[in-house]
A and B are shown apart, each in its own frame.
Chain A
Amino acid sequence: MAMYIRVKREKTTYFIQCDPTEKTSDIKQKLQALTDQPTDKQRLTLVSSNEILVDSKTLAEQKVENDAVVALTFRKDDDDFEEVNIARPEDFTSFS
């Protein structure tokens, strides 16, 4: 295994095995299998830089490294994408 990234949306994190030479679109394909959302309805944002990942570019080109956190958002019915929403456990203090 070359590397993995952590794709996060709300309270879910997907650990995705990948290779630096893979394109963003390849990652979206893998996520389609897990989320049942078609690739064109997905948007990936590298959290550390807040850059939206471009389908045709590779992970290496966009400085997505091993263990990187990438936010996943879906296209809403009005064709806009949702805001990035990654829940943090601190918001659920009743459990701690």
Chain B
Amino acid sequence: MEEETTKKAEMVKLISAEGFEFVIDKQAAMVSQTIRNMLTSPGGFSETQQGQVTFPEISTHILEKICQYFYWSLQFASGKETEFHIEPEITLDLMMAANYLHC
């Protein structure tokens, strides 16, 4: 049981504008400088202390793409050179979200 709680503590929940939830590793979320600041600043954001962050400005499919990027970024850092494909249709929205998240 103790192991389970540690497992949960290592995850964070990102919530999209439409209320969809993405449960991802804290380590992946920290690819974003903005989320890193939220999670590490003492007493900063009350909701982050429960391990969840809501992004009312980011739509679900963009937030999912962002999460995929976090994991791609970790894989890339460990030497796995695959392409991260970005469909041209979402470049503008993704760019704005990435800009907000500093990633």
9-residue interface stretch from A19-27, A30-38, A47-55, A56-64: A30-38
In the bound complex, do residue B25 and residue A17 qualify as a contact, i.e. CB atoms below 8 Å apart? yes
In the bound complex, do residue B21 and residue A12 qualify as a contact, i.e. CB atoms below 8 Å apart? yes
- B4 in contact (CB, < 8 A): yes
Which residues on B sit within 8 Å (CB–CB) of A33? 3-4, 7-8
- B20 in contact (CB, < 8 A): yes
Which residues on B sit within 8 Å (CB–CB) of A95? 17-19, 59
In the bound complex, do residue B20 and residue A13 qualify as a contact, i.e. CB atoms below 8 Å apart? yes
Which residues on B sit within 8 Å (CB–CB) of A89? 16, 18, 20, 59-61
> Known contacts being A1-B74, A96-B59, is A11 close to B19, with CB within 8 Å?
yes
Which residues on B sit within 8 Å (CB–CB) of A3? 75
Task: Name 28 A/B residue pairs within 8 A (Cβ), A-sorted.
Answer: A1-B74, A1-B75, A4-B71, A11-B19, A11-B21, A12-B23, A13-B20, A13-B22, A13-B23, A14-B23, A15-B22, A15-B23, A15-B25, A30-B7, A32-B4, A33-B4, A33-B7, A34-B7, A34-B8, A34-B11, A87-B20, A89-B18, A89-B60, A92-B18, A95-B17, A95-B18, A95-B19, A96-B18
B61-101 contacts to A (CB < 8 Å): 61, 64, 67-68, 71, 74-75, 78
B7-31 contacts to A (CB < 8 Å): 7-8, 11, 16-25, 28
- The distance in angstroms between the C-alpha atoms of A51 and B7, with both chains bound, is 28
B26-47 contacts to A (CB < 8 Å): 28
Distance from A11 Cβ to chain B, minimum over Cβ atoms (Å): 5
Distance from A26 Cβ to chain B, minimum over Cβ atoms (Å): 13
Nearest A residue to B29 via CB reads A15
Distance from B54 Cβ to chain A, minimum over Cβ atoms (Å): 13
In the bound complex, do residue A15 and residue B67 qualify as a contact, i.e. CB atoms below 8 Å apart? yes
Distance from B97 Cβ to chain A, minimum over Cβ atoms (Å): 14
